[in-house]
Structure 1
Amino acid sequence: MSAKRQQRIDRLRDALEARDVLRLKDAAEMLGVSEMTVRRDIAACDGCLTYLGGYIVTPPAASAAKGYVFDQEQSSHTEAKRAASQAAAALIQPHETIFLDCGTTIPHLAAALPDDIRLTVICYAINVAEIVCRRPGLQVILLGGVYHPSSASFSGAAGLTQLEGLRIDKAFISAGGVHGTRGVSCSNSHEVAIKQTAMANALTKVLVVDATKIDAVKPFYFTPLDQFDIVTADTGVSPDAAEMIRQCGPRLILG
């Protein structure tokens, strides 16, 4: 790598330390080069930066030094998350429009999509977009906005307005807590409006969780459990928890 390119990359990383997200146009103006040059620099930096949807961000794994716990969560209960996601992937039909939520479970669903399937995929998280954007049969709609390291996702009025104008066959929603009386909840307030809008615009609502999320409660409530048509989970779900889900209305599918 040339010395000039390394200097530009270092300046981008310094800028991201201060603001978490940087528009491509602003980065090019800051460095005094073209937008294409900035994109080439990012491609050459061995994953230290990521470019998605017009924004430059620090990848999730590289954010740990800033108190970021997402990467730690990503490595927990992996097999259970994969099982729940594989059960969810089996519900998808060719040529559908699907919404993929943020979190550490949904990337397993993105990875489980059949290689030859054709879909329109709506997403707003980097760890999901990085998977689906590499798949040739997928048309990807990435919702933009302000980047949140706490869930490697974007949020904002523009992205929400875009989502409101879309129609979805199946919305696959993640959650940090699933409770029979306290409803379904998550850890980040910025996710609430996006989850609710995706569900409102979807024909079928699917909750994708591993067994550890059931009977848990997180700070930010976004919907009662009975608003989901289907819950996919792993076989670690207890008989009592399974009965609770069924009594609330959704069909339970165990991977």
Structure 2
Amino acid sequence: MLIAERRRRLLEQVRQRGYASFRELADTLGISESTVRRDLRLMVAEGLLEATRGGVGPMPGDSRPVPDSGAFRPADGVRGSIWAGASPAEDDAVAARYASGPADDPVDAERQAIAAHAATLVKPGSAILLGPGRTTYALARRLMTISSLTVVTNSVLVTQALLGAPQIDVVMVGGTLRRSIGALVGPVTEQTLQGFRGDQVFLSGDGVTVDRGLTTPNVFAAATDQALMAAGRQVVVLADHTKLGHDTMCQTVPTSRIDVLVTDAGADPEVRRLLAAAGVDVQAVSER
């Protein structure tokens, strides 16, 4: 079964049932439960379905018809939007959900504390680069009071956050839009970033280890993050405690290039010690 058809049928089953467990969907479609979980995780992240305990359900008030398989497209690369017929308003809604996280986000308080501390590292009159991510988005929202700042970013969400700050010059680099991370990536982005040099670059990812530094599972995001890293004199990684000690597929910033790691007080003390021993300035902050 093609990916597009499989996801169309998954969405159809959930909307017909109102609720479905992973096992029920796997049995109905004749596929593995792990495949169901992977597909549904992406569909929840993209706002097509709502996560529930032990399964999924339709989004509240969602009356959109299930498109035929032609309206779905498999992710081009590692991840991507599968709602090809989405309106701009729907795209904005997906972006908002990505930026803020779910209402019961267990690390939102830590993320906000990390962002608040990171904002204190930014000096008025400087030029910085911000990569995509929920924590960098939270940081962008805390830069509104800093004067004479230049921000270079590939993140649509960071750009949106700074629209109301006329004292901040925002440079958004071009590229290919990947809705799954709310950012522009690809060769155009990487080539454009080669012409920039900033005082600091702030990056987040999915894992930080002593052996590999900052990593992400998204190959497209990894290449662009590497270009962002190369454009910054000081590299600041923002990562909550759930990411320390966690390793994913693609390395973006080796440990030797991480100047500052801002994390929360719940981060593994041993991982923090080893990173500090490797030359990283580890700054752990408490919730505010």
TM-score > 0.5 by shorter chain? yes
Indicate yes or no: 2:49 matched with 1:49.
no
Stretches of structure 1 that go unaligned for 5 or more consecutive residues are 1-16, 20-47, 51-56
Contact kept? 1:186, 1:219, Cα under 8 Å: yes
For the structure 1 residues 137 and 69, does the alpha-carbon distance in structure 2 shift closer, same or farther, using more than 3 Å as the test? closer
C-alpha deviation, 1:126, in angstroms: 1.7
Contact kept? 2:236, 2:259, Cα under 8 Å: yes
Per the alignment, in what secondary structure is the counterpart of residue 200 of structure 1?
helix
Match of 1:151 in 2: 181
Match of 1:61 in 2: 94
Mapped partners of 2:138, 2:257: distance in 1:
23
C-alpha deviation, 1:60, in angstroms: 5.2
Mapped partners of 1:133, 1:252: distance in 2:
31
- Which of 61, 71, 81 aligns to 2:111? It is 81
C-alpha RMSD over aligned residues? 2.8
Report 1:1-255 matches (<5 A).
49=88, 58-59=91-92, 61=94, 71-72=101-102, 75-255=105-285
Contact kept? 2:152, 2:173, Cα under 8 Å: yes
Mapped partners of 2:124, 2:258: distance in 1:
22
CA-to-aligned-CA distance 1:79-113 (integer Å, 9 cap, x gap): 11111111211111111110011011111111111
Structure 1 residues 105-114 or 169-178, which shifts more?
Answer: 105-114
For the structure 1 residues 218 and 149, does the alpha-carbon distance in structure 2 shift closer, same or farther, using more than 3 Å as the test? same
C-alpha deviation, 1:231, in angstroms: 0.6
CA-to-aligned-CA distance 1:104-127 (integer Å, 9 cap, x gap): 111111111151422110111122
CA-to-aligned-CA distance 1:41-82 (integer Å, 9 cap, x gap): xxxxxxx627xxxxxx92252698xxx899549944111111
Match of 2:67 in 1: none
Per the alignment, in what secondary structure is the counterpart of residue 115 of structure 1?
coil
CA-to-aligned-CA distance 1:131-155 (integer Å, 9 cap, x gap): 0122111100111221112211111
Contact kept? 1:147, 1:155, Cα under 8 Å: yes
Give identity over the alignment, percent.
25
C-alpha deviation, 1:157, in angstroms: 2.3
Mapped partners of 2:144, 2:117: distance in 1:
13
Mapped partners of 2:125, 2:140: distance in 1:
15
Q: State TM-score, norm by structure 1.
A: 0.72
Structure 1 residues 92-101 or 148-157, which shifts more?
Answer: 148-157
For the structure 1 residues 62 and 239, does the alpha-carbon distance in structure 2 shift closer, same or farther, using more than 3 Å as the test? closer
Matching residue's letter, 1:49: P
Higher relative contact order, structure no. (Cα contacts within 8 Å, ≥ 6 residues apart): 1
Mapped partners of 1:144, 1:90: distance in 2:
28
Per the alignment, in what secondary structure is the counterpart of residue 241 of structure 1?
helix
Structure 1 runs, 4 residues or longer, greater than 6 Å off: none
C-alpha deviation, 1:254, in angstroms: 1.8
For the structure 1 residues 107 and 73, does the alpha-carbon distance in structure 2 shift closer, same or farther, using more than 3 Å as the test? farther
Per the alignment, in what secondary structure is the counterpart of residue 139 of structure 2?
helix
